[in-house]
C-alpha cells in the first residue's frame, strides 16, 4: 500500500514529564517525511521510532513557544554532522531565523545544505507547499502568540485503469503509464480512444489536519471538512474549560466537537497537561462526543488506508 | 550516609543515538544538585532518573558545542513555567548569554528568577565556586573551541567527636555542635578544654573530576591528583587514535592513562562515538591500563562512600 502514516513523537504540553516529550509529529506520505513541530528531543525520538529523518525535507513550526521548536537546532546540527546536502525547507514565523541566527552562525562553516525559510502568514489561510506528493495549507489558530494549523492532503496519484477496456482495445503495456497520467491513446490505425474511456478516476486523496496550540475554533470545520485524520490538542479536561479559555488551549470535549463538526474520519488528541498521569479522563470525555478518538502516545503510528472510509 | 553521588544523564558524543543522549551529569553533594553540561533532552532525563532538579542552583557548561548546551533553554523555560524563584548560577563561556539572548528575551516577562552568569576562564585554572558544601575548580582542556574541565571537592563537614573525651569531661549535648565547628569548651569552673582534645579531625573530602571534550592531557594529573571519581571522555578506541588527535578527542586508552597518572579511585568513560553499538571494546581497552573503570550508561548512579578508599 502507498503510505500515508502519521507517527507521534511527543505528547506533552509545555512541561514534559519523564514519559512525555514535547510536541513533534512526522507524516510519511509515499515515503516522503514531513516534520510538524520540533520540541526538545525530537531528533532522538525520530531515531527511536525509526523515522527516516534524512528524508525529511520540509519542517513546519506552528508557533514560537519553546515546546514546539527547541529541538530544531539539535536536528539542524546533526544534519550538519551527517553532511546533509539537500535543501531543507522550514515553514515558520519569520522571527525564528533571527532567534536561531547565532547558533546557526556557529554551524554555518560546516553546513553543506541550505535552509530555505518560508515565513508563515498568521492572518489567513494559505497554500504553503504543493508538489506531486502533497498539498499543505496553513491556517490561523488562536493562541497567546501567532500560531498556525496545517492541513496535509495527498496529491492524486496515477489514474486507475479500466482493465476491461484496456483488454478490449489491446493496449500495449508500455502505453499504460501514459494513460494513467491522463493521456488519450491512438491506435496504429489512427483512431483516438479518449482517456475517460480507459480510466476510472483517482483513488481519493487522504488528508491530515494538525491543530495545536489553540482555543476551540468551530469555524475550522470549513477549512478541514471531511479530513481523514484530525490531530487536535486537548490540554485540559472539561472541568478546566475556563483555564483552557484563559490560556488559549482546548479541552478534550472541544477537540471532539471540532472532529464532529468537520466530519473527521478519526480524531487523535494530545498536548496533555502534565497534571494528567493517565489521560483516560480526556479520552473518555472526547469519545462521548466523537467515538473514533484515540489518545496520542510516544511512538504511536496511525496509517490511513488508501481507499477512503465509507468506500 | 551523607551523599556524594553522580548520575549520568547522557553518554553520546555529538550525534545522539536512539539510546544515547547528549552529555549531561548531575552531582548530588549533600542533597545539593550540580548540573554539568546540558545536552538536548537533559530536563527529561532529569525527570526520568529522579534528580531533584528544582534543587539545582548551579549549572556548569564545559564548552559551546551544541551537544553540551542545547538542552539549557528548555530547562530554563521549564523553571519559568514552574515559577522558580531562586537565583540560578550558570558558569559558561561569556558568549552563551549572547547566543541565548533572543530566546531568553521571550521568556523574561514571565521569569521570576535571576540568572547569574559566571564567565569561565579558558586560559588558567580557577576556583569558580566555593561555599560550605563544595569547592569547584575549572581548568582548561584542549578542544577545537575553548573548553573547561571541572573538579568538585566537597568541603569539610563538622569535626568528628572523640566520644570518650566528651564523656570524660561530661560535656552537655547542647555544646556538641559548637565543638564540631572547631570551638574549645570552657567548663563551669572556667577550665578551657582544647578542641583538639575533643575531636578527631574531619572525614576525608570526596572529589569528582569531569574532563570532556578534550585531547589527552597528561599534565592534568597535577590538577586532579588522587581524585575519587574521574569522568573522562573516550570518544574513540585506540585504533582511531589519529582521528582522536585530529578532532581533539581522546581514546579509551588515553582516558585510562590519565586515571592511572592521577591515581584516581575510579574511572568512568563516556561521550561515545555513535559508531560503537556496544562499548565493550572501549571498556576492555581502558581496563587493561586502569582496572577500576566503568562505562557510563544513561541513568547510572555512582556513589562515593564518605570514608575514602584505603581507610
ipTM of the complex: 0.89
Q: Please report how the helices B280-289 and B252-261 are oriented relative to each other, as an axis angle in degrees rounded to 10.
A: 30
Closest to A11 in 3D by CA, of A307, A296, A266, A299:
A296
Question: How many angstroms separate the CA atoms of B163 and B173, rounded?
Answer: 12
pLDDT of residue A201: 83
B221-249 confidence digits (pLDDT tens): 999 999 999 999 999 999 999 999 999 99
Q: Which residues of B touch A14 (CB under 8 A)?
A: 77-78, 81
B58-114 confidence digits (pLDDT tens): 999 999 999 999 999 999 999 999 999 999 999 999 999 999 999 999 999 899 999
- Supply the mean pLDDT for chain A: 94
A271-286 confidence digits (pLDDT tens): 999 999 999 999 999 9
CB distance A41 to A21 below 8 Å = yes
pLDDT of residue A1: 62
Shortest distance, CA A185 to any CA of chain B (angstroms): 52
DSSP for chain A reads ---EEEEEEE-B-SS--SS-PPPEEEEEETTEEEEE---TTHHHHHHHTT--GGGEEEEE----SGGGTTTHHHHHHHHHHTT--S-EEEEE-THHHHHTHHHHHHHHTT--S-EEEEEPPSSS-EEEEE-SSEEEEEEE--SSS--EEEEEEEPP-SPPB-HHHHHHTT--GGGHHHHHTT--EE-TTS-EE-HHHHB--PPPPPEEEEE-S----TTHHHHSTT-SEEEEE--B-GGGHHHHHHHT--BHHHHHHHHHHTT-SEEEEE-B-TT-SSTHHHHHHHHHH-SSEEE--TT-EEEPPSSPTT-
Percent of chain A at pLDDT exceeding 70: 98
- Supply the mean pLDDT for chain B: 94
Q: Which of B22, B64, B77 sits opposite A66 (nearest CB)?
A: B77
Domain definitions of chain B by residue range? 4-157+202-303, 163-198
Shortest distance, CA A182 to any CA of chain B (angstroms): 45
DSSP for B207-250 reads EEEEE-S----TTHHHHSTT-SEEEEE--B-GGGHHHHHHHT--
Q: What is the pTM assigned to this prediction? A: 0.90
Percent of chain B at pLDDT exceeding 70: 98
Q: Which residues of B touch A64 (CB under 8 A)?
A: 106
Question: How many angstroms separate the CA atoms of B76 and B190, rounded?
Answer: 56
Judged against a pLDDT cut of 80, whether residue A308 lies above it is answered with no
Lowest mean pLDDT among A95-104, A180-189, B3-12: A180-189
* Interchain proximity B102–A103, CB inside 8 Å: no
Q: Which of B41, B64, B82 sits opposite A41 (nearest CB)?
A: B41
pLDDT of residue A309: 42
| Grid cell of B104 as nine digits | 531568553
Distance of CA A278 to the CA centre of its chain: 26
Shortest distance, CA B4 to any CA of chain A (angstroms): 24
B234-291 confidence digits (pLDDT tens): 999 999 999 999 999 999 999 999 999 999 999 999 999 999 999 999 999 999 999 9
Q: Which of A40, A98, A101 sits opposite B74 (nearest CB)?
A: A40
| Residues constituting chain A | 311
Question: How many angstroms separate the CA atoms of B12 and A294, rounded?
Answer: 34
| Grid cell of B305 as nine digits | 562512600
Q: Taking residues A230-240, what's their average pLDDT? A: 98
pLDDT of residue B107: 93
Question: How many angstroms separate the CA atoms of B119 and B126, rounded?
Answer: 11
Shortest distance, CA A47 to any CA of chain B (angstroms): 5
Q: What are phi and psi of A270, to 5 degrees?
A: -165, -160
Question: How many angstroms separate the CA atoms of A229 and A227, rounded?
Answer: 6
pLDDT of residue A306: 80
Pairing of strands B24-29, B32-36: antiparallel
CB distance A300 to A51 below 8 Å = no
CA distances from B12 to A85, B271, B275, B296 (A): 24, 5, 10, 10
Q: How confident is residue A203, by pLDDT bands cut at 50, 70 and 90?
A: confident
Q: Which of A74, A81, A82 sits opposite B70 (nearest CB)?
A: A74
pLDDT of residue B159: 86
* Interchain proximity B77–A71, CB inside 8 Å: no
Interface of A with B (CB under 8 A): 14-18, 21-22, 40-41, 43-44, 47-48, 64, 66-67, 70-71, 73-74, 77-78, 81-82, 98-99, 101-103, 106-107
Judged against a pLDDT cut of 60, whether residue B219 lies above it is answered with yes
The SS3 call for residue B308 is coil
Judged against a pLDDT cut of 90, whether residue A56 lies above it is answered with yes
Q: What are phi and psi of B276, to 5 degrees?
A: -90, 100
* Interchain proximity B81–A17, CB inside 8 Å: no
Shortest distance, CA B158 to any CA of chain A (angstroms): 37
* A67 annotated active-site: yes
DSSP for B46-77 reads HHHTT--GGGEEEEE----SGGGTTTHHHHHH
* Interchain proximity B44–A71, CB inside 8 Å: no
Judged against a pLDDT cut of 80, whether residue A53 lies above it is answered with yes
Please identify which residue in the block is written with the cell numbers 582544647.
Answer: B194
Interface of B with A (CB under 8 A): 14-18, 21-22, 40-41, 43-44, 47-48, 64, 66-67, 70-71, 73-74, 77-78, 81-82, 98-99, 101-103, 106-107
CB distance A215 to A143 below 8 Å = yes
- Residues of B belonging to the active site: 67
Distance of CA A36 to the CA centre of its chain: 6
Q: How confident is residue B7, by pLDDT bands cut at 50, 70 and 90?
A: very high
Judged against a pLDDT cut of 80, whether residue A151 lies above it is answered with yes
Judged against a pLDDT cut of 50, whether residue B310 lies above it is answered with no
Q: Which residues of B touch A102 (CB under 8 A)?
A: 98-99, 101
**CA contacts within 13 A on the Cβ side of A88:** 25
Rg (CA), chain B: 22
Q: How confident is residue B1, by pLDDT bands cut at 50, 70 and 90?
A: low
Percent of chain A at pLDDT exceeding 90: 86
Fold for A4-157+202-303, please state it: Metallo-beta-lactamase; Chain A (3.60.15)
Q: How confident is residue A52, by pLDDT bands cut at 50, 70 and 90?
A: confident
Q: Which of B41, B64, B102 sits opposite A44 (nearest CB)?
A: B41
Amino acid at each position: 500500500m502507498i503510505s500515508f502514516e502519521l507517527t507521534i513523537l511527543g505528547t506533552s504540553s509545555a512541561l514534559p514529564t519523564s514519559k512525555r516529550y514535547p510536541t513533534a509529529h512526522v507524516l510519511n506520505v509515499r515515503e516522503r517525511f514531513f516534520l510538524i513541530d520540533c520540541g526538545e528531543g525530537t531528533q532522538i525520538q525520530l531515531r527511536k521510532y525509526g523515522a527516516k529523518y534524512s528524508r525529511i525535507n520540509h519542517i513546519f513550526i506552528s508557533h514560537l513557544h519553546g515546546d514546539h521548536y527547541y529541538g530544531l537546532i539539535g536536528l539542524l546540527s546533526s544534519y550538519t554532522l551527517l553532511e546533509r546536502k539537500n535543501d531543507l525547507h522550514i515553514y515558520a514565523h519569520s522571527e525564528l531565523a533571527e532567534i536561531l541566527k547565532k547558533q546557526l552562525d556557529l554551524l554555518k562553516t560546516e553546513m553543506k545544505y541550505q535552509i530555505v525559510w518560508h515565513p508563515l502568514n498568521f492572518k489567513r489561510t494559505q497554500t504553503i507547499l504543493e508538489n506531486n506528493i502533497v498539498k499543505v495549507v496553513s491556517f490561523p489558530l488562536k493562541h497567546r502568540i501567532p500560531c498556525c494549523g496545517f492541513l496535509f492532503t495527498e496529491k492524486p496519484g496515477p489514474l486507475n485503469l479500466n482493465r476491461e477496456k484496456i483488454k478490449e482495445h489491446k493496449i500495449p503495456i508500455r502505453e499504460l503509464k501514459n494513460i494513467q497520467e491522463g493521456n488519450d491513446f491512438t491506435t496504429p490505425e489512427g483512431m483516438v480512444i479518449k482517456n475517460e474511456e480507459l480510466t476510472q478516476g483517482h483513488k481519493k486523496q487522504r488528508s491530515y489536519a494538525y491543530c495545536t496550540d489553540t482555543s476551540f475554533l468551530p469555524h475550522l470545520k470549513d477549512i478541514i471538512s471531511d479530513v481523514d485524520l484530525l490531530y487536535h490538542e486537548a490540554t485540559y479536561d472539561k472541568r478546566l474549560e475556563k483555564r483552557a479559555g484563559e490560556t488559549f488551549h482546548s479541552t478534550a470535549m472541544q477537540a471532539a466537537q471540532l472532529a464532529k463538526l468537520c466530519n473527521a474520519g478519526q480524531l487523535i488528541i494530545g498536548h496533555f497537561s502534565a497534571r494528567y498521569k493517565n489521560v483516560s479522563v480526556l479520552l473518555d470525555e472526547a469519545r462521548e462526543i466523537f467515538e473514533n478518538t484515540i489518545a496520542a502516545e510516544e511512538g504511536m503510528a496511525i496509517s490511513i488506508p488508501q481507499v477512503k472510509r465509507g468506500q
